[in-house]
Amino acid sequence: MKKTLTLRELSADAPTVTKKGRGWEISEKRRDALHDRAREMRRNPTPAQEALAQALAGVETGGFAFKRQAVIGSAIVDFACKDLMLVIELAGDEDAAFAARRDRSLTEVGYRVERMAADTVLADPAGAAAHISAVMRERWHERRARHRAQKSSHGRPQG
């Protein structure tokens, strides 16, 4: 019998996502299962994932790279650029409530989640890659401005 990962019901006393260590406070057994599942998903990509990966290879990404089927916390995301804290999800036949909870937890720890319809990517992979490139530039400017603001506020003497 094939084991599948299930999501527990959301309860009021559920712990918040905290980025603490590599496992994000999940058990090693669950983390290993997530990595095994992600590896299997990388070996068998959907047509939309394959098309987007090929299109991203030909677009300017500013030296940043995406990892396909990356594990972030207890989520497996389609494409992740951890340096920019950017996640690209191809919307398909997944449960909307599950996707919303996962997006919310990723946003809470600082990731920006961009959703794209798989049909849109298949119809125009180059256009989807160009859109992602623009989002990457925007995200880079956001993070740079935030870093500069933090740096200047820490460096000013109180007077």
Domain boundaries along the sequence of the chain = 28-155
Q: How confident is the model at residue 137 (pLDDT cuts 50, 70, 90)?
A: very high
Q: Which of 113-117, 123-127, 141-145 has the lowest mean pLDDT?
A: 141-145
The arithmetic mean of pLDDT across residues 50-58, rounded, is: 93
Tell me the range of 11-20, 28-37, 53-62, 124-133 where mean pLDDT is highest. 124-133
Report pLDDT for 159: 46
Report pLDDT for 144: 87
The arithmetic mean of pLDDT across residues 45-74, rounded, is: 91
User: Mean pLDDT for the chain?
Assistant: 83
CATH architecture of 28-155: 3-Layer(aba) Sandwich (3.40)
The arithmetic mean of pLDDT across residues 46-72, rounded, is: 91
Q: How confident is the model at residue 75 (pLDDT cuts 50, 70, 90)?
A: confident
User: What is the four-CA torsion angle of 102, 5, 47, 70, rounded to 10 degrees?
Assistant: 60
Inter-residue contact 78 to 47 (CB < 8 Å): no
Q: Which of 89-93, 115-119, 125-129, 133-137 has the lowest mean pLDDT?
A: 89-93
Among all chains, which residue has been given the structure tokens 């007077």?
159
Q: How confident is the model at residue 1 (pLDDT cuts 50, 70, 90)?
A: low
For residue range 12-53, what is the model confidence (pLDDT) as tens digits? 454 455 554 454 677 888 888 999 999 999 999 999 999 999
